[in-house]
Amino acid sequence: MRKYHLLAPGPTPVPPQVLEAMARPLVHHRTKDFEALFAEVRAGLSWLHQDKGDVIILAASGTGGMEAAVANLLSPGDGALVVEGGKFGERWTEICKAYGMAADVLRVEPGYSLRLDELESRLDPARHKAVFVQASETSTGAKHDVRALGGLLKRKAPGTLLVVDAITALGVYDLRPAEWGIDAVVGGSQKALMLPPGLATIWLSERAWAAAAKSRSPRYYFDLRIERKVQAKNTTAWTPAISLIVGLKVALGMMREEGLDAIFKRHARLAAGAQAAAGALGLDIFPQDLRSESVTAVRVPEGVNGKAIPDRMQDAYGVTIAGGQGELAGKIFRIGHLGYVDESDVLTAVGALENVLTDLGRRVERGAGVAAAQKMLLG
Ligand SMILES: Cc1ncc(COP(=O)(O)O)c(C=O)c1O
């Protein structure tokens, strides 16, 4: 018998009450029952975005939400500035290119956070119709300060839209798009929303909606103008991912019960616990500036086969974490602690990590990481 412990930065564990709701007989989406359910989910998502505005729900993975943002806010030939601090920043560039936008890349060394002075020196308000960025760059564990970025754009480039991939930030730490001058926020279901993959969410500011009305980009499935009109009537343009929306109602109910403040504090505490454990085991945290509360990225110590760490965590101890992606493969490993994750989960992962490092020939004092995390997590 082997229990399965999912501590990846997505997909994340799904609570039993969400699984149970999704297992019930399917409701048809063109019914009053579904409309009532959809209305409740839409209200819950607005609450999560700390704004009254519409949040559009799409049947897609998070990347679909990113694509919808690019296709709806810009037109072919438009200039954009993309903050590339890792794999997901690169994805913004790739989508912009696919839609014929002229993406200028502001490369941020992996593990570092965006420096506003660097962005300011690259920013051309006449050319850049939008700035694309990650709130939490899951591939490196670094955070970019989107609040400060919003403030900078308000002052220096008031016509430039700020488009934020918040896929591992939404429901993890404070994000106030309307207040902070953000124009688009993209979310994904398999992260802090505590669902399986398959839903993307997108919130837009009023001026982003105005841009969507003017965009000349080709769109069909991801036409947010159509979705906004239809979703305001509590239905969807196409067949929605009904089961996931049923699950989302339960997940949002759990989130409301916990409260935003408590949710943010829990994630901060879990991140602090994981980071303390890494420190006590003599490991270095990979992000050098701002650390995301959703994932702890740790540098693989000298002499240890980095790719073997996640494999052995899973195969020998039943704990799923993530390795590094792209150029970081084998150089870092990442422990996800977002969504339906608590103190005991992090302690389990740290305990398994101590064993894995020992198995792979690294001398660690077993128990040291657990003790450090315990102090941080349980006081
Ligand atoms: C920051 C970030 N952006 C984008 C994505 C892509 O989302 P998806 O894999 O759901 O398409 C992810 C998924 O891990 C992510 O963490």
**What is the CATH classification number for the domain harbouring 134?**
3.40.640.10
Question: Do 75 and 116 share a domain, yes or no?
Answer: yes
Please state the domain count of the chain. 2
Task: Tell which residue, 177, 193, 205, has the closest CA to residue 241.
Answer: 193
pLDDT at residue 164 in the model: 99
The pTM for the full model equals 0.98
Do 192 and 13 touch, CB atoms closer than 8 A? Answer: no
Q: Distance between CA atoms of 162 and 160, rounded to whole angstroms?
A: 7
Distance (angstroms) between ligand 1 centre and the Cα of 239 equals 23
Distance (angstroms) between ligand 1 centre and the Cα of 363 equals 35
Q: Distance between CA atoms of 58 and 238, rounded to whole angstroms?
A: 9
Give the ligand 1 atom nearest the CA of 10.
Answer: 14
Which of 204, 233, 257 terminates a domain? The answer is 257
Question: Do 148 and 272 share a domain, yes or no?
Answer: no
Residue 134: CB within 6 Å of ligand 1?
yes
Question: Do 182 and 208 share a domain, yes or no?
Answer: yes
What are the φ/ψ torsions at residue 322 (nearest 5 degrees)?
A: -120, 150
Q: Is the pLDDT of residue 185 over 80?
A: yes
For the stretch 308-355, pLDDT in tens is 999 999 999 999 999 999 999 999 999 999 999 999 999 999 999 999
Question: Do 43 and 175 share a domain, yes or no?
Answer: yes
For a ligand 1 pocket test, name from 88, 92, 146, 325 the mutation site with the most ligand atoms within 8 angstroms of its C-beta.
88
216 band by pLDDT with thresholds 50, 70 and 90 = very high
Q: Is the pLDDT of residue 1 over 90?
A: no
Question: Do 291 and 155 share a domain, yes or no?
Answer: no
Distances 238 to 44, 139, 197 between C-alpha atoms, Å: 21, 32, 18
Cα 239-245-249 angle, rounded to 5 deg? 155
pLDDT at residue 304 in the model: 96
Give me the mean pLDDT over the 117-134 stretch.
98
pLDDT at residue 138 in the model: 98
Residue 165: CB within 6 Å of ligand 1?
yes
Question: Do 181 and 252 share a domain, yes or no?
Answer: yes
Q: Is the pLDDT of residue 154 over 80?
A: yes
Distances 113 to 93, 222, 281, 286, 326 between C-alpha atoms, Å: 18, 30, 25, 12, 18
DSSP 197: S
95 band by pLDDT with thresholds 50, 70 and 90 = very high
Q: Is the pLDDT of residue 208 over 90?
A: yes
Do 126 and 153 touch, CB atoms closer than 8 A? Answer: no
Which value, in Å, is the radius of gyration of the alpha carbons in the chain?
Answer: 21
DSSP, collapsed to helix, strand or coil, labels residue 272 as helix
Q: How many CA atoms lie within 13 A of 252 on its CB side?
A: 21
Q: Distance between CA atoms of 279 and 273, rounded to whole angstroms?
A: 10
pLDDT at residue 379 in the model: 83
Q: Output the six-digit token pair for 157.
A: 């480039």
Question: Do 247 and 307 share a domain, yes or no?
Answer: no
Do 321 and 296 touch, CB atoms closer than 8 A? Answer: no
Give the ligand 1 atom nearest the CA of 200.
Answer: 10
Do 41 and 252 touch, CB atoms closer than 8 A? Answer: yes
Q: Distance between CA atoms of 32 and 266, rounded to whole angstroms?
A: 37
Give the mean pLDDT of the chain.
98
CATH number, domain containing residue 338: 3.90.1150.10
**Beta bridge pairs of residue 55:** 203
DSSP, collapsed to helix, strand or coil, labels residue 376 as helix
Distance (angstroms) between ligand 1 centre and the Cα of 168 equals 8
DSSP, collapsed to helix, strand or coil, labels residue 337 as coil
Q: Distance between CA atoms of 144 and 85, rounded to whole angstroms?
A: 9
Question: Do 186 and 299 share a domain, yes or no?
Answer: no
Give the ligand 1 atom nearest the CA of 169.
Answer: 1
Q: State in Å, rounded, how far the first CA of the chain is from the last one.
A: 32
Q: Is the pLDDT of residue 176 over 80?
A: yes
Which of 237, 257, 277 terminates a domain? The answer is 257
Question: Do 178 and 190 share a domain, yes or no?
Answer: yes
For the stretch 5-39, pLDDT in tens is 999 999 999 999 999 999 999 999 999 999 999 99
Which of 209, 225, 257 terminates a domain? The answer is 257
Question: Do 193 and 336 share a domain, yes or no?
Answer: no
Task: Tell which residue, 351, 352, 306, 309, has the closest CA to residue 329.
Answer: 306
Do 377 and 343 touch, CB atoms closer than 8 A? Answer: yes
Q: Is the pLDDT of residue 40 over 80?
A: yes
Question: Do 206 and 318 share a domain, yes or no?
Answer: no
Task: Tell which residue, 276, 280, 304, has the closest CA to residue 291.
Answer: 276
Residue 188: CB within 6 Å of ligand 1?
yes
What are the φ/ψ torsions at residue 339 (nearest 5 degrees)?
A: 85, -135
Q: Is the pLDDT of residue 2 over 90?
A: no
pLDDT at residue 290 in the model: 98
Task: Tell which residue, 163, 170, 105, has the closest CA to residue 136.
Answer: 170
Give me the mean pLDDT over the 261-269 stretch.
98
Distance (angstroms) between ligand 1 centre and the Cα of 266 equals 22
Residue 294: CB within 6 Å of ligand 1?
no
Distance (angstroms) between ligand 1 centre and the Cα of 197 equals 10
Percent of the chain scoring above 90 in pLDDT: 98
Question: Do 218 and 355 share a domain, yes or no?
Answer: no
pLDDT at residue 134 in the model: 98
Domain residues for the domain of 113 are: 16-257
